[in-house]
């Protein structure tokens, strides 16, 4: 009995350590994915936050971009640009793979194997995208936006903690 309890605790802890996020695109099979990052989008007045997640597929990878909206007419539309920390830019073409639920719109963009290799080596700095929708009196904000790889809006000069997500490290583990 004394040997079984520590073994069970070790097995339980290792199961949580190896737990990995999964991404499902419009009912497809699940893909191994990074955690869902909360990037800061200062110009987007409705929430100021964008949810970003990346997954690895057999043919490259997927970028999931989600944002809260004020109405169901608003969508992330058109291509996006993924800016990397080393200055490279990865353009993503809109293939019209989208989901909308109450108060949230999600778009999916695909990466080639070569682009996934770049993402494994360099952190994402920012993502540029467009929100379109109806123009109501209390409608959603539309236009061009940039979401930045920052963990918090504010920090002090004396704060020495990491202020951005290690996207390259997590993508390379996939």
Q: Tell me the pLDDT tens digit for each residue of 104-136.
A: 999 999 999 999 999 999 999 999 999 988 666
CA distance to 3, 7, 44, per residue, from 53 (Å): 40, 34, 19
Question: Would you say residue 147 lies in a domain?
Answer: yes
Question: Would you say residue 21 lies in a domain?
Answer: no
The reported pTM is: 0.81
The percent of residues in the chain predicted with pLDDT above 70, rounded, is 82
Question: Would you say residue 78 lies in a domain?
Answer: yes
Question: Would you say residue 22 lies in a domain?
Answer: no
Question: Would you say residue 88 lies in a domain?
Answer: yes
Judge whether 68 and 103 are in contact, CB under 8 Å.
Answer: yes
Q: Would the pLDDT of 18 be above 80? A: no
Q: Tell me the pLDDT tens digit for each residue of 43-68.
A: 888 888 999 999 999 999 999 999 99
Q: How many domains does the chain have?
A: 1
- pLDDT value at position 135? 65
Question: Would you say residue 123 lies in a domain?
Answer: yes
Per the structure, the complete domain to which residue 86 belongs is given by 36-173
């Amino acid at each position: 009995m004394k040997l079984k309890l520590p073994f069970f605790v070790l097995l339980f802890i290792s199961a949580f350590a190896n737990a990995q996020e999964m991404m499902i695109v419009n009912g497809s099979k699940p893909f191994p994915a990074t955690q869902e990052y909360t990037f800061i989008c200062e110009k987007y007045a409705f929430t100021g936050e964008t949810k970003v997640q990346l997954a690895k597929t057999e043919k490259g990878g997927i970028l999931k971009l989600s944002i809260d909206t004020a109405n169901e007419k608003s969508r992330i539309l058109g291509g996006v640009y993924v800016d990397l920390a080393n200055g490279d830019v990865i353009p993503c073409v809109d293939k019209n793979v989208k989901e909308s639920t109450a108060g949230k719109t999600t778009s999916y963009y695909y990466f080639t194997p070569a682009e996934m290799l770049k993402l494994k080596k360099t952190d994402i700095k920012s993502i540029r995208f467009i929100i379109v929708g109806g123009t109501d009196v209390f409608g959603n904000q539309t236009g061009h936006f940039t979401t930045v790889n920052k963990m918090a809006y504010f920090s002090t000069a004396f704060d020495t903690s990491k202020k951005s997500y290690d996207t390259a490290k997590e993508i390379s583990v996939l």
